[in-house]
Amino acid sequence: MLVMGVDPGLTRCGIGVVIGTPGRAELVSAGVIRTSPDLDIARRLLQIEAGLEEWIAAHRPDAVAVERVFAQHNVTTVIGTAQAAGVALLVAARHGIPAVQHTPSEVKAAISGSGRADKAQVGTMVARILKLDAAPKPADAADAVALAICHAWRGSASARLAAAAEATARPRTWSQVVAARGVS
């Protein structure tokens, strides 16, 4: 599975592309989309969209994994990060590519075995998993690669399990609907 990971951010949006299966991963490409803080937010989001379009056109991923934004102390940073994440999800949807979000602790656990690993530990494990001398630079690119690895290792299986659980929980026939609602 070819997965593009996106570590959303307004100044540096990390991108990492890996090809992987559970337990195996190989780096295809990593980098960042940069925008200037001097530009207004709309222009910055437009630049992120254009950059993501280029990455998708160049690599044609099977899935896009985006870091789920969580509350931080700096609300302005959270809002900008969430907007960049939204652009990534929109671009993936435009191309018909399944897009999922993974929490930082989920990514850390998949990569290092601990949901509380720090950035240095994650970077070290990304390098080790990919058999690289060092983690991709800058850190935003390494984080995006970690997201892609996490999804290649966990995401597809999780998605299949969730779909199966939903399918079995949802009544399919009229008699199943009636039985599920307790109506006779």
For the domain that residue 43 is a member of, what is the CATH number?
Answer: 3.30.420.10
Q: Report how many domains make up the chain.
A: 1
Q: What is the pLDDT at residue 164? A: 56
From the list 40, 49, 67, 106, the catalytic residue is 67
For this structure, is 38 an active site residue?
Answer: no
For this structure, is 67 an active site residue?
Answer: yes
* Rounded Cα distance, 169 and 179, in Å: 12
Domain with 67, as residue range(s), is: 2-181
For this structure, is 7 an active site residue?
Answer: yes
From the list 40, 53, 140, 143, the catalytic residue is 140
Please state the φ and ψ torsions of residue 167, each to the nearest 5 degrees. Answer: -65, -40
pLDDT along the chain (184 residues), means of 10: 97 97 95 98 98 98 94 80 97 97 95 92 96 96 97 72 58 61 58
